[in-house]
Amino acid sequence: MNRKDIKQILLFNLIVLVIFLIYIELTIGNIWYRISSNGYRNINLIGLFSYLIDPLCNNFLWNIELLDVNYIFILILSNLFYIILKI
Protein backbone atom coordinates (compact mmCIF):
# COMPACT_ATOMS: atom_id res chain seq x y z
CA MET A 1 0.00 0.00 0.00
CA ASN A 2 1.52 3.29 -1.05
CA ARG A 3 0.90 6.89 0.04
CA LYS A 4 -1.65 7.52 -2.68
CA ASP A 5 -3.79 4.59 -1.48
CA ILE A 6 -3.59 5.77 2.12
CA LYS A 7 -4.60 9.31 1.13
CA GLN A 8 -7.55 7.96 -0.85
CA ILE A 9 -8.74 5.84 2.07
CA LEU A 10 -8.41 8.75 4.50
CA LEU A 11 -10.30 11.04 2.13
CA PHE A 12 -13.00 8.41 1.68
CA ASN A 13 -13.32 8.01 5.47
CA LEU A 14 -13.55 11.77 5.89
CA ILE A 15 -16.36 11.93 3.33
CA VAL A 16 -18.15 9.05 5.09
CA LEU A 17 -17.78 10.89 8.42
CA VAL A 18 -19.23 14.15 7.07
CA ILE A 19 -22.17 12.38 5.44
CA PHE A 20 -22.77 10.39 8.63
CA LEU A 21 -22.70 13.54 10.78
CA ILE A 22 -25.25 15.24 8.57
CA TYR A 23 -27.40 12.11 8.54
CA ILE A 24 -27.49 11.68 12.33
CA GLU A 25 -28.16 15.37 12.89
CA LEU A 26 -31.12 15.23 10.51
CA THR A 27 -32.55 11.92 11.74
CA ILE A 28 -31.81 11.97 15.48
CA GLY A 29 -31.08 15.64 16.07
CA ASN A 30 -29.18 17.53 18.77
CA ILE A 31 -26.15 15.26 18.66
CA TRP A 32 -23.50 17.81 17.77
CA TYR A 33 -25.43 20.99 16.98
CA ARG A 34 -27.60 21.92 19.94
CA ILE A 35 -28.88 24.77 22.05
CA SER A 36 -26.65 25.37 25.07
CA SER A 37 -27.78 26.30 28.56
CA ASN A 38 -27.46 30.02 27.75
CA GLY A 39 -29.81 29.73 24.76
CA TYR A 40 -27.28 29.87 21.92
CA ARG A 41 -26.80 27.23 19.24
CA ASN A 42 -23.36 25.65 19.60
CA ILE A 43 -21.40 22.79 18.12
CA ASN A 44 -20.83 20.26 20.87
CA LEU A 45 -17.68 18.33 19.92
CA ILE A 46 -17.59 16.36 23.17
CA GLY A 47 -21.13 15.09 22.60
CA LEU A 48 -20.25 14.28 19.00
CA PHE A 49 -17.14 12.32 19.91
CA SER A 50 -18.99 10.54 22.69
CA TYR A 51 -21.74 9.49 20.28
CA LEU A 52 -19.26 8.24 17.67
CA ILE A 53 -17.44 5.94 20.08
CA ASP A 54 -20.51 4.93 22.11
CA PRO A 55 -21.01 1.64 20.19
CA LEU A 56 -17.67 0.47 21.57
CA CYS A 57 -19.02 0.71 25.13
CA ASN A 58 -22.77 0.30 24.74
CA ASN A 59 -24.53 -2.66 23.11
CA PHE A 60 -27.72 -0.67 22.52
CA LEU A 61 -26.54 0.76 19.18
CA TRP A 62 -25.83 -2.73 17.85
CA ASN A 63 -29.55 -3.53 17.56
CA ILE A 64 -30.56 -4.25 13.99
CA GLU A 65 -32.93 -1.25 13.96
CA LEU A 66 -30.14 1.15 14.95
CA LEU A 67 -27.29 0.06 12.71
CA ASP A 68 -27.84 3.04 10.41
CA VAL A 69 -26.84 5.41 13.26
CA ASN A 70 -23.91 3.29 14.47
CA TYR A 71 -20.72 4.99 13.26
CA ILE A 72 -18.46 1.99 13.87
CA PHE A 73 -20.75 -0.24 11.81
CA ILE A 74 -21.02 2.33 9.00
CA LEU A 75 -17.25 2.84 8.97
CA ILE A 76 -16.52 -0.89 8.76
CA LEU A 77 -19.19 -1.47 6.12
CA SER A 78 -18.14 1.48 3.96
CA ASN A 79 -14.48 0.45 4.09
CA LEU A 80 -15.39 -3.09 3.11
CA PHE A 81 -17.33 -1.75 0.13
CA TYR A 82 -14.41 0.51 -0.76
CA ILE A 83 -11.92 -2.36 -0.67
CA ILE A 84 -14.21 -4.70 -2.62
CA LEU A 85 -15.00 -2.13 -5.30
CA LYS A 86 -11.38 -1.00 -5.50
CA ILE A 87 -10.22 -4.50 -6.43
Q: How confident is the model at residue 77 (pLDDT cuts 50, 70, 90)?
A: very high
Predicted confidence (pLDDT) per residue in 45-65, tens digit: 888 899 899 999 989 889 999
pTM: 0.86
Given a cut of 80, is residue 36 above it in pLDDT? no
How many C-beta atoms lie closer than 10 Å to residue 74's C-beta? 19
pLDDT computed for residue 44 by the predictor: 83
Average pLDDT of span 64-72:
93
Q: Which helix (H) or strand (E) holds 42?
A: strand 41-43
Distances (CA, A) of 37 to 28, 33, 34, 40, 82: 20, 13, 10, 8, 41
